[in-house]
């Protein structure tokens, strides 16, 4: 309930607060009327797309983070742990420098493919050896593959000044670029990710009991991990496509849910999605007002807002075991 | 769109020993200060951005960084003394195309090593970032270069309040055409060509006056100079950017002129909608081949932004290509003002 309240509040704030204040009447007209006044345009072409993009990206980040944490049984995991972020960043840099991709809609596809390839690599490396892709080995493989891809990416980016500037805008994470077309384009991937998440709910609970117990309960750890990876790639890829690789939200939201509310995945997954979406929207709203008329990107605000909250959780509560 | 920030980090202190080998005249006794425009430029001291610059004689090996500095050296007739040029924002002015083709040119800023390898005795920069203590464009502070016997100069209207500082420390009152004139005169004396500099100032005054007369008494439209960034946000040229002065000379005002503190301010789309500028200019930048025609893509992106679809400038088709180079403080100002005037006050 609290998550839902936070999210609703955040969504309303996201529509109401911005560079210039809007009255409730203007907001109502902007959403439902078609008069074409400047306040309507602000609502329709700036605030509504931003809010929807934030909702979508936030839900995806929360779900992806929760699944990644469940999959690796690591409370500090996120999409980044499985190499997805690094892969997406690397592929986008390759797209810009080798193929001259210039638009955000072009970045989307490179990001998804790169994230998927990195996840496959992580699974292949982590799956080597007798006992297969155990959670610990997956996390280790993710860290190794990420480090490899990121160092290569840095090498390329640091040698090319223009590339660096463009990469910088992409990598920081922002909703300013949001438009309804990109959001609509991303919805199918998000839906696919959500469907997989629903499939995963029970299996993740089994994984949480440990490999052997899970197996004895009829869970198939291998299938779960593959499904989970696909879900994380789809969800994190969608969020990245819409808002860039927003750091921290995917880590904090599920962690907070586990610490404050519930540990069963049928609660953790939906609550993480709601909370993460609320966080993303709040970060975006805060970014619009702190140094208005300038804006602070959401990636920066999420870290500033989320960091202390996370430290607080870690200090007061025991780290929720998985 | 990238404008003067990037990944190219200057080489740091490790190169000092190399510098010592490549340079002469380190740590000689200070020259007696004199601001007399001595013929031949012997022993001249001029103050630039609060720092005394003393040359023992007219510098013979000049390195020019950024468009305004490069064009100014050509305009002073010193093309043959250029040992290096770097980082043009656009094609040089027509009169200097042939001259520029004769001098070494780097599209990126040189590293400190590359700069010193050209063995310059004078470095003139059209932007303060290269002499900042840190940041993506920093090459070396002016004090460090002076210690190596290399004299330095920054285009006046971009003077930071102290060596090693950058945009954040520009005195807004100094961003004026008068500063450009004073700067040119000082530079002319240091380089041993005071008469040529005086003539240049006279020509610039004449050019600016011609534009001012043409637009005198006309209503002053509100113009925004927009840089569209890859993340979908916009940056605007603020009141301390020389672009504001160019607009004023052309009989227009900067719709974001009240913003100060930095030359470029990242504003949200809502702010652009709310201020509803009458005219939008792009800030097309950063290739030695660019002409105003290369701004077409920037214009198309701004026109295609649904958030700006209701703005006066877009509805009335008043989004025009404009070059970043034409916002710079320097000898392009009259031509730049004329271009703006032709857009906002068509004949």
Instruction: Tell me the shortest Cα–Cα distance from A288 to chain B, in angstroms.
Output: 8
The answer to whether B33 contacts chain A (CB < 8 Å) is no
Tokens linked to A145:
């593959």
Highest averaged pLDDT of the listed ranges A236-240, B114-118, B131-135: B114-118
Cβ atoms of residues B159 and B170 within 8 Å? yes
Instruction: Tell me the shortest Cα–Cα distance from A267 to chain B, in angstroms.
Output: 34
Both B88 and B193 in a single domain? yes
pLDDT, tens only, B160-169: 877 888 777 7
The answer to whether A293 contacts chain B (CB < 8 Å) is yes
Of B175, B207, B239, the position where a domain reaches its end is B207
Q: Considering only the beta carbons, identify the residue of A18, A165, A288 that sits closest to B6.
A: A165
CB contacts, 8 Å: A20 with chain B: 270-271, 274
ipTM associated with this complex:
0.70
Highest averaged pLDDT of the listed ranges A54-58, A107-111, A264-268, B34-38: A54-58
Instruction: Tell me the shortest Cα–Cα distance from A98 to chain B, in angstroms.
Output: 18
Lowest average pLDDT, out of A126-135, B83-92, B201-210, goes to A126-135
Both B99 and B201 in a single domain? yes
Cβ atoms of residues A62 and A250 within 8 Å? yes
CB contacts, 8 Å: B232 with chain A: 104, 174, 176-179
Of B207, B242, B273, the position where a domain reaches its end is B207
Both B110 and B69 in a single domain? yes
Q: What is the pLDDT of residue B23?
A: 41
pLDDT, tens only, A288-307: 888 777 778 888 888 887 77
The answer to whether B111 contacts chain A (CB < 8 Å) is no
CB contacts, 8 Å: A38 with chain B: 273-274, 276, 310-311
- CB-CB under 8 Å, B6 with A161: yes
Compute the average pLDDT of residues A61-90.
85
pLDDT, tens only, A32-60: 766 667 777 788 778 888 899 999 999 99
Both B70 and B202 in a single domain? yes
- CB-CB under 8 Å, B270 with A42: yes
Both B43 and B125 in a single domain? yes
Q: What is the pLDDT of residue B10?
A: 37
Closest C-alpha to A230, from A260, A257, A267, A203: A203
Q: What is the pLDDT of residue B17?
A: 37
Q: What is the pLDDT of residue A219?
A: 66
| Four-point Cα dihedral A173, A174, A177, A182, nearest 10 | 60
DSSP-assigned letters across all residues of B275-300: H--SEEE--B---TT--GGGGHHHHH
- CB-CB under 8 Å, A176 with B233: yes
Q: For residue B51, what is the enclosing H or E element? A: strand B51-55
Tell me phi and psi for residue B126, to 5 degrees. -85, 5
Both B173 and B33 in a single domain? yes
The answer to whether B78 contacts chain A (CB < 8 Å) is no
Instruction: Tell me the shortest Cα–Cα distance from B15 to chain A, in angstroms.
Output: 20
Compute the average pLDDT of residues A98-106.
70
Both B224 and B306 in a single domain? yes
Both B203 and B234 in a single domain? no
- CB-CB under 8 Å, B5 with A157: no
Closest C-alpha to B236, from B211, B206, B257, B210: B257
- CB-CB under 8 Å, A295 with B310: no
In this predicted structure, the answer to whether residue A152 has a pLDDT above a threshold of 80 is yes
- CB-CB under 8 Å, B267 with A294: yes
The answer to whether B258 contacts chain A (CB < 8 Å) is no
The count of other CB atoms within 10 Å of the CB of residue B169 is 14
Tokens 């004023």 belong to which residue? Answer: B248
Compute the average pLDDT of residues A61-85.
84
Q: What is the pLDDT of residue B34?
A: 41
Task: Give, in order, the Cα–Cα distances in Å from B72 to each of A272, B79, B160, B273, B331.
Answer: 60, 10, 20, 38, 7
Chain A residue with Cα closest to B267 = A294
- Classify residue A98 by burial, with Cβ atoms within 10 Å: 0-12, 13-18, 19+: exposed
CATH at B125? 3.40.50.1980
Q: What is the pLDDT of residue B37?
A: 43
CB contacts, 8 Å: A18 with chain B: 268, 270
Tell me phi and psi for residue B266, to 5 degrees. -80, 110
Dump strand ranges (E) for B214-325. 222-228, 234-237, 253-254, 264-267, 279-281, 319-320
d(CA B52, CA B49): 8
Closest C-alpha to A84, from A124, A53, A112, A55: A112
pLDDT, tens only, B21-58: 344 333 333 343 344 444 444 589 999 998 999 999 99
Residue B116 included in any domain: yes
Tell me phi and psi for residue B319, to 5 degrees. -110, 120
Residue B23 included in any domain: yes
pLDDT, tens only, B232-264: 678 999 998 999 999 999 999 999 999 987 888
Residue B6 included in any domain: no
Instruction: Check whether the bond before A216 is cis (ω within 30° of 0).
Output: no
Q: Which domains does chain A have, with CATH numbers?
A: 37-240 (1.10.3470.10)
Residue B108 included in any domain: yes
SS3 per-residue string spanning A10-53: HHHHHHHCCCCCCCHHHHHHHHHCCCCCHHHHHHHHHHHHHHHH
Residue B8 included in any domain: no
The answer to whether B108 contacts chain A (CB < 8 Å) is yes
Q: Considering only the beta carbons, identify the residue of B230, B274, B310 that sits closest to A166.
A: B230
Tokens linked to A313:
């959780």
Both B86 and B49 in a single domain? yes
Of B163, B186, B207, the position where a domain reaches its end is B207
Strand B62-65 with B82-86, pairing: parallel
- CB-CB under 8 Å, B270 with A176: no
Both B25 and B129 in a single domain? yes
pLDDT, tens only, B52-73: 999 999 999 999 999 999 999 9
User: Is A111 or A220 the better-scoring residue by pLDDT?
Assistant: A111
Domain hosting residue B71, numbered range = 13-207
Cβ atoms of residues B230 and B250 within 8 Å? no
Confidence of residue B224 (pLDDT cuts 50, 70, 90): very high
Residue B1 included in any domain: no
Compute the average pLDDT of residues B112-123.
94
- Classify residue A75 by burial, with Cβ atoms within 10 Å: 0-12, 13-18, 19+: middle
d(CA A246, CA A234): 15
Buried b (16+ CB within 10 A) or exposed e, A142-179: bbebbebbbeebbebbeebbbbbbbbbbbbbbbbbbbb
pLDDT, tens only, A187-209: 888 999 999 999 888 888 877 77
In this predicted structure, the answer to whether residue B100 has a pLDDT above a threshold of 70 is yes
Compute the average pLDDT of residues B270-290.
92
Compute the average pLDDT of residues B103-113.
92
Instruction: Tell me the shortest Cα–Cα distance from B121 to chain A, in angstroms.
Output: 27
d(CA A172, CA B231): 9
Q: Considering only the beta carbons, identify the residue of A165, A292, A294 that sits closest to B2.
A: A165
Q: What is the pLDDT of residue A218?
A: 67
Residue B2 included in any domain: no
Residue B317 included in any domain: yes
Both B186 and B275 in a single domain? no
Chain A residue with Cα closest to B233 = A176
Both B229 and B321 in a single domain? yes
User: Is B205 or B18 the better-scoring residue by pLDDT?
Assistant: B205
d(CA A255, CA A279): 13
Tell me phi and psi for residue B160, to 5 degrees. -80, 165
In this predicted structure, the answer to whether residue B266 has a pLDDT above a threshold of 70 is yes
Query: How many domains does chain B contain in total?
Result: 2
Chain A residue with Cα closest to B256 = A293
Q: Return the SS3 of A192.
A: helix
d(CA B294, CA B289): 9
Cβ atoms of residues A71 and A224 within 8 Å? yes
Mean pLDDT of chain B: 85
């Amino acid at each position: 309930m609290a998550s839902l309240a936070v999210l609703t509040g955040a969504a309303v704030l996201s529509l109401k607060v911005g560079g210039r204040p809007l009255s409730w009447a203007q907001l109502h007209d902007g959403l439902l009327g078609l008069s074409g006044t400047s306040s309507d345009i602000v609502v329709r072409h700036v605030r509504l797309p931003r809010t929807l993009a934030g909702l979508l990206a936030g839900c995806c980040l929360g779900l992806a983070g929760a699944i990644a944490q469940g999959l690796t049984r690591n409370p500090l995991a996120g999409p980044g742990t499985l190499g997805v972020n690094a892969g997406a960043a690397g592929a986008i840099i390759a797209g810009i420098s080798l193929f001259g991709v210039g638009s955000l809609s072009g970045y989307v596809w490179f990001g998804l493919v790169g994230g998927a390839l990195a996840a496959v690599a992580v699974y292949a490396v982590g799956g080597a050896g007798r006992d297969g892709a155990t959670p610990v080995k997956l996390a280790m493989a993710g860290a190794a593959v990420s480090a490899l891809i990121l160092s290569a990416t840095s090498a390329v980016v640091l040698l090319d000044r223009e590339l660096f500037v463009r990469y910088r805008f992409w990598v920081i994470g922002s909703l300013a670029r949001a438009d309804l077309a990109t959001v609509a384009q991303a919805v199918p991937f998000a839906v696919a990710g959500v469907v997989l998440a629903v499939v995963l709910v029970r299996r993740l609970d089994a994984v949480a009991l440990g490999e052997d117990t899970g197996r004895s309960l009829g869970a198939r750890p291998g299938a779960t991990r593959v499904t989970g990876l696909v879900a994380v790639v789809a969800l994190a890829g969608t969020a990245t496509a819409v808002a860039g690789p927003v750091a921290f939200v995917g880590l904090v939201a599920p962690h907070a849910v586990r610490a404050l509310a519930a540990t069963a995945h049928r609660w953790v997954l939906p609550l993480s999605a709601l909370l993460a979406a609320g966080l993303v929207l709040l970060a975006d709203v805060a970014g619009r007002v702190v140094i208005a008329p300038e804006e602070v990107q959401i990636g920066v605000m999420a870290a500033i807002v989320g960091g202390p909250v996370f430290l607080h959780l870690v200090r007061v509560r025991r780290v929720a075991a998985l | 769109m990238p404008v003067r920030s990037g990944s190219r980090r200057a080489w740091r202190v490790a190169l000092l020993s190399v510098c010592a080998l490549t340079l002469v005249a380190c740590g000689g006794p200070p020259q007696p200060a004199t601001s007399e425009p001595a013929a031949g430029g012997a022993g001249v001291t001029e103050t630039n951005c609060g720092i005394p610059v003393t040359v023992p004689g007219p510098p013979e090996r000049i390195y020019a960084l950024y468009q305004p500095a490069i064009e100014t050296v050509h305009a002073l007739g010193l093309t043959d003394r250029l040992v290096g040029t770097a980082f043009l924002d656009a094609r040089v002015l027509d009169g200097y195309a042939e001259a520029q083709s004769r001098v070494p040119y780097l599209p990126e800023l040189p590293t400190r090593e590359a700069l010193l390898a050209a063995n310059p005795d004078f470095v003139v920069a059209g932007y303060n970032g290269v002499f900042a203590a840190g940041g993506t464009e920093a090459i070396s502070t002016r004090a460090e270069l002076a210690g190596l016997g290399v004299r330095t100069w920054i285009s006046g209207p971009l003077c930071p309040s102290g060596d090693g500082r950058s945009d954040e420390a520009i005195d807004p009152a100094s961003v004026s055409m008068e500063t450009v004139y004073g700067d040119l005169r000082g530079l002319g004396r240091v380089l041993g060509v005071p008469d040529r500099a005086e003539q240049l100032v006279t020509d610039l005054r004449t050019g600016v006056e011609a534009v001012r007369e043409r637009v005198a008494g006309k209503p002053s439209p509100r113009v925004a100079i927009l840089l569209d960034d890859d993340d979908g946000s916009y940056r605007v040229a603020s009141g301390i950017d020389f672009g504001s002065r160019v607009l004023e000379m052309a009989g227009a005002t900067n719709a974001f002129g009240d913003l100060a503190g930095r030359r470029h301010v990242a504003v949200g789309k809502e702010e652009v909608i709310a201020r509803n500028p009458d005219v939008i200019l792009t800030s097309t930048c950063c290739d030695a081949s660019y002409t105003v025609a290369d701004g077409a893509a920037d214009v198309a992106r701004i026109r295609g932004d649904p958030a700006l679809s209701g703005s006066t400038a877009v509805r009335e088709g008043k989004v025009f290509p404009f070059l970043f180079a034409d916002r710079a403080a320097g000898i392009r100002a009259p031509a730049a003002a004329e271009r703006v005037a032709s857009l906002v006050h068509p004949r």
